[in-house]
């Protein structure tokens, strides 16, 4: 089914809002790779009142690795609550809480197959825009001590996504999403995930998506590099 001309957000809302500062996590003595000292902003706390959303993210929220996380194109990390039932079963973690994927917003009604790059929304006082799918890093696996968790997220397509902020303002848990523009209806978040992770030989698709004006800079660069990389030499020539 092709995406609708406007974002489909009937009853879409913020279920929970999370922020947190970066912190140092010490070893526990097990000797496993995930028990080595590390610094992370992954551990976030739910916020019950309104939180100011600026162009670089929520006030009071931090990322330990600013080179790969945060910034204007990845100001807000979003994960839909609809995915949690499946993960609780698959990971044998029945108490896996909202916020477990390090998201700022746990939402209802915003799934990867129904969202497109460039979709805009009003939420609370802020105006936001879908900028890219999320690419989970090793810290997700380390947080839950499941070595292949980031890879499993990529394989399932249940990645979540990022918002950039077009207009700052106050946001709180319970706010509804009001759909705005749908600029690129053929580039669903799900399709972008497939192209990035499962169709790496589709160089024409990579070139086309790299030209999408609303896509984040890091994804544009990655896809353009893929599409323009010289072909490997043919053996024997």
CATH code assigned to 13-24+38-184: 2.40.33.20
Can you tell me which residue has the tokens 């790059």?
117
Cα 185 from Cα 7, distance rounded (Å): 9
pLDDT tens by residue, the chain, 237 residues: 344 555 555 589 999 999 998 877 777 766 676 667 667 777 899 999 999 999 999 999 987 566 666 689 999 999 999 999 999 999 999 999 999 999 999 999 999 999 999 999 999 999 999 999 999 887 888 888 898 999 999 999 999 999 999 999 999 999 999 999 999 999 999 999 999 999 999 999 999 999 999 999 999 999 999 999 876 666 665
Phi, psi angle pair for 208, to nearest 5°: -65, -45
What H or E segment, with its residue span, contains residue 54? strand 51-54
Any idea where the domains of the chain sit in the sequence?
A: 13-24+38-184
């Amino acid at each position: 089914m092709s995406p609708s001309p406007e974002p489909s957000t009937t009853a879409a809302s913020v279920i929970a809002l999370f922020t947190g500062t970066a912190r140092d996590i010490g070893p526990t003595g097990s000797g496993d790779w995930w028990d080595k000292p590390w610094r992370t902003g992954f551990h976030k706390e739910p916020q019950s009142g309104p939180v100011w959303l600026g162009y670089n993210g929520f006030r009071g929220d931090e990322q330990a690795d600013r080179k790969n996380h945060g910034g204007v194109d990845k100001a807000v990390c979003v994960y839909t609550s609809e995915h949690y039932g499946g993960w609780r079963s698959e990971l044998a973690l029945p108490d896996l809480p909202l916020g477990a994927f390090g998201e700022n917003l746990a939402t209802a009604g915003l799934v990867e197959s129904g969202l497109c790059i460039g979709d805009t929304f009003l939420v609370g006082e802020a105006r936001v825009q879908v900028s890219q799918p999320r690419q989970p890093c090793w810290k997700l696996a380390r947080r839950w001590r499941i070595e292949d968790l980031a890879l499993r997220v990529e394989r399932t397509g249940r990645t979540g996504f990022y918002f950039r902020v077009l207009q700052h303002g106050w946001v709180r848990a319970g706010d509804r999403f009001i759909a705005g523009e749908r600029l690129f209806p053929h580039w669903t978040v799900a399709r972008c995930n497939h192209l990035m992770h499962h169709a790496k030989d589709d160089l024409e698709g990579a070139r086309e998506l790299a030209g999408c004006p609303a896509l984040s800079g890091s994804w544009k660069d990655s896809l353009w590099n893929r599409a323009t990389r010289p072909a490997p030499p043919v053996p024997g020539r």
